[in-house]
Amino acid sequence: MTGPRPDGADVLVTVPTYNERESLPGLVTRLLDTLPALRILVVDDGSPDGTGTLAESIAATDARVRVHHHAPRAGLGAAYVDAFSTVLDGGCDGFAEGVGWIVQMDADGSHAPEELPRLLAAARDADVVLGSRYVPGGGTEGWAWHRRLLSRAGNVYSRRALRLSLHDVTGGYRCFRRGALAEVGMATVASEGYCFQVDVAFRVQRAGMRVREVPITFVERAHGESKMSGAVVREALWRITSWAVRDRARRRRARPR
């Protein structure tokens, strides 16, 4: 099986933004320095700080960058669903033509572009590659103890409730084979916040896709504020619990009588 091209020519990176004006230019530069031929789709969520306008100015001077303006403040999950659906449907005026691999990553610098080649190398024999903080070699930098606790607890609860064998189901640094992403069924994903990551991981495992996890170091953002909130946590808890209940009911119905 062949993987992505070494220069990233068949790779598109989707980067959702909301008030990321200070971090976006550096991220774009680091990505293109790492893989000069890849394409970057900035998905702006109506940022009031002018991130979308800044992204347009970057795109105007570099054909490898394109901007997709999403419905204002619709949430991380909705931004990804919109972006992925647009790419898979051939939108963006041919910008995604020839793309075989779609990457998602944060805009705030938490995901190091320099680690992307490691994810792409693992994609040679996988449908989906997860950048994982919770496999040997992975980790976090700059997090307060309560943030580490929340992340660990969220992963443990999600894995046990949904019977997932993956180690990091809430992380947002991922690489998808284009066909595998199409199989996920973006049109039916309703998760708005960070539980979008769990939703997709659950669908990927349930579909029997080949998944690999590679270690990454998640670094606390240098600019802006975290989008994590009580409402986001409550949405995740409610949705994951409801998925688990439905999955158990489905398994019971499928048992031979």
Residue 155 burial (10 A CB sphere; 0-12, 13-18, 19+) = buried
Q: Please tell me the predicted confidence (pLDDT) of residue 251.
A: 73
Total structural domains within the chain: 1
Q: What CATH number is associated with residue 182? A: 3.90.550.10
In a domain, 257, yes or no: no
In a domain, 256, yes or no: no
**194 φ, ψ to 5°?**
-70, -15
Q: Please tell me the predicted confidence (pLDDT) of residue 73.
A: 62
**Low-confidence residues in the chain, pLDDT < 70:** 1, 72-74, 192-193, 222-232, 257
Q: Please tell me the predicted confidence (pLDDT) of residue 76.
A: 79
Q: Which of 98, 34, 43, 93 is nearest to 72 (CA)?
A: 43
Q: Please tell me the predicted confidence (pLDDT) of residue 30.
A: 97
The sheet carrying 211-215 orders its strands as: 65-69, 39-44, 11-17, 101-104, 174-177, 128-132, 211-215
Distance CA(43)–CA(80), nearest Å, equals 8
Q: Please tell me the predicted confidence (pLDDT) of residue 59.
A: 97
Q: Please tell me the predicted confidence (pLDDT) of residue 1.
A: 59
In a domain, 169, yes or no: yes
In a domain, 3, yes or no: no
In a domain, 2, yes or no: no
pLDDT tens digits along 210-238: 999 999 999 987 665 655 556 667 777 87
In a domain, 69, yes or no: yes
Q: Please tell me the predicted confidence (pLDDT) of residue 228.
A: 56
| Domain that includes residue 203, residue range | 11-251
pTM for the complete prediction? 0.90
